[in-house]
Amino acid sequence: MRLRSPWQPRLPAGDGPPAERLADALAGDILGGRLQSGDRLPAHRPLAWQLGIGIGSVTRAYATLERRGLVRSVRGRGTFVAASPNGTGQVLDLSANMPPPMFSDRALARTLARLARTVDPALFNVYPPVAGHIEHRRIMAHWLAELGVEIPPERLLLTSGAQQALGIALAAARRATPVMLTEALTYPGMLGLARQAGMHVQGLPMDAQGLLPEALGHALRQHAPGRCLLYVTPTMHNPTTATMGAGRRHDIARLCSSHDALVIEDDVYDCVHDTALPPLVTLAPERTFYVSSLSKTLSPGLRIGALAPPRGFMQAARDALLNASLMIAPLSYAMMAQWMLDGTAASVRQSLRGEAGRRRALACAVLGPHLTPPRYDAFHAWMPMPLARARWLGAEAAKQGVKVTLPQPFMACTEADAPAGIRLCLGPTALPDLREALHRLRHVLDGMDNSVT
Judge if 60 and 135 occupy the same domain.
no
Are 207 and 131 part of one and the same domain? yes
Burial letters for 184-209: b for 16+ Cβ neighbours within 10 Å, e otherwise?
bbbbbebbebbeebebebbbbbbeeb
- Alpha carbon distance 164, 340 (integer Å): 22
Q: What is the CATH number of the domain that holds 61?
A: 1.10.10.10
Q: Are residues 302 and 224 in the same domain?
A: yes
Structural domain count, the chain:
3
Is 86 inside a domain boundary? Answer: no
- For every one of its 453 residues, what pLDDT tens digit does the chain have, with 9 covering 90 and above? 456 888 999 998 888 899 988 988 888 788 767 888 888 999 999 999 999 999 999 999 998 888 777 788 888 788 988 865 544 456 899 999 999 887 767 777 888 888 888 877 777 776 778 888 899 999 999 999 999 999 999 999 999 999 999 999 999 998 778 999 999 999 999 999 999 999 999 999 999 999 999 999 999 999 999 999 999 999 999 999 999 999 999 999 999 999 999 999 999 999 888 999 999 999 999 999 999 999 888 888 888 999 999 999 999 999 999 988 677 778 888 889 888 988 888 888 888 888 999 999 999 999 999 999 888 888 999 999 999 999 999 999 998 889 999 999 999 987 667 789 999 999 988 888 899 899 999 989 987 754 454
Classified as helix, coil or strand, 294 is coil
Looking at the structure, do residues 338 and 369 belong to the same domain, yes or no? no
Does residue 9 lie in a domain region? no
Domain that holds residue 25: 18-81
In this structure, the answer to whether residues 161 and 218 fall within a common structural domain is yes
Answer yes or no: do 207 and 330 share one domain: yes
Q: Are residues 326 and 353 in the same domain?
A: no
* 11 in a structural domain: no
Longest dimension (CA), the chain: 84
Determine the residue type at 112. Answer: L
Same domain, 177 and 309: yes
CB atoms within 10 A of CB 375: 15
Compute the distance between CA of residue 317 and CA of residue 320 in angstroms, rounded to an integer: 5
- Domain match, 334 and 318 both: yes
Pick the closest to residue 308 from 99, 162, 408, 114 (CA basis).
Answer: 162
* Residue 368's CATH number: 3.90.1150.10
Cα 30 to Cα 343: distance, rounded to the nearest angstrom: 47
Q: What distance in Å separates the CA atoms of residue 304 and residue 46, rounded to the nearest whole number?
A: 60
Question: Do residues 246 and 263 both lie within one domain?
Answer: yes
To which H or E segment does residue 380 belong? strand 380-384
Task: Tell me what pLDDT residue 88 has.
Answer: 43
Question: Considering Cα of 241, then 208, then 410, then 394, what sign does the dihedral take?
Answer: negative
Q: What string of DSSP letters covers 64-128?
A: HHHHTTSEEEETTTEEEE-S-TTSSS--EE-----PPP---HHHHHHHHHHHHHH--THHHHSPP
Q: Does residue 98 contact residue 300 with C-beta atoms inside 8 Å?
A: yes
We report the CATH number of the domain holding residue 285 as 3.40.640.10
Question: Distance between CA atoms of 278 and 18, rounded to whole angstroms?
Answer: 48
Q: Tell me if 107 is assigned to some domain.
A: no
Would you say residue 242 lies in a domain? yes
Same domain, 319 and 370: no
300 plus 358 within the same structural domain: no
- In-domain check, residue 147: yes
Which amino acid, residue 353? R
What count of residues does the chain have?
453
